A and B are shown apart, each in its own frame.
Chain A
Amino acid sequence: DAKTTQPNSMESNEEEPVHLPCNHSTISGTDYIHWYRQLPSQGPEYVIHGLTSNVNNRMASLAIAEDRKSSTLILHRATLRDAAVYYCILRAYNTDKLIFGTGTRLQVFP
């Protein structure tokens, strides 16, 4: 299973953009890049996913490097509710198995 590397923690101020990096240098050509987040005392929730092209949804944007060895989750305007642990996960195309790493703990200050 391909691994991901993320910073342990990051900080942001409210209403500022946040860029959460993820390295996945051993990604295979058919691995999807998924992002989930876990708010305090809750189960994880899906944020976004992509394969090769950048993706946008109502929660965030996903920027994928051209060589796919890294990606960045972008929260355009952080809110206090965005304080969570963000997990970058590689999922093989032929499985639904998610392998969670240690994630990045995002703190948002008012």
Chain B
Amino acid sequence: DTAVSQTPKYLVTQMGNDKSIKCEQNLGHDTMYWYKQDSKKFLKIMFSYNNKELIINETVPNRFSPKSPDKAHLNLHINSLELGDSAVYFCASSQVDWRETSNNEQFFGPGTRLTVL
């Protein structure tokens, strides 16, 4: 059983198109995230959702819109794709717990490699 799954694994598209990446977790977690890893392998958080509410939004262009239909899903929709959007996008989830000793371990999906031509 895959804990955090993403579809598609690869996405090749033209500049200006609109595309979506889907993410699902079957861990029962209440928080989900999207990260972007660019060509230099720098991994940066984009968004986090807790119980379907946006918690973190890291200065991401508004062409990127996360949508959480329920706790188990966090999809990423990208409008008007640009060359610079080419990257690997990772979804993650965790069970956030604010007790001081908590780990809040994040579980990552396998990634979606987006190529914009």
Q: Could you tell me which residues of chain A, from 66 to 94, have a CB within 8 Å of some CB in chain B? A: 85, 87, 91, 93-94
Answer whether A42 and B100 are a contact pair too, CB < 8 Å, given A97-B48, A100-B42, A100-B44.
no
Cβ contact within 8 Å between A43 and B100: no
Does B92 contact A97, Cβ atoms closer than 8 Å? no
Q: How many A-B residue pairs have CB under 8 A?
A: 49
Within 8 Å by CB of B104, from A45, A96, A99, A100, lies A96
Number of interface residues of A (CB under 8 A): 21
Q: Which residues of B sit under 8 angstroms from A98, Cβ to Cβ?
A: 45, 106
Given contacts A43-B108, A96-B31, contact A49 B45 (CB under 8 A): no
Alpha-carbon distance A60/B98, docked complex (angstroms): 25
B48-A96 in contact (CB<8A)? yes
Tell me which residues across on chain B come within 8 A of A100, comparing CB atoms. 42-44
**Which chain A residue lies CB-closest to B6?**
A43
Complex: chain A residue closest to B111, CB-CB: A43
Q: Which residues of A contact B42 (CB under 8 A)?
A: 100, 102
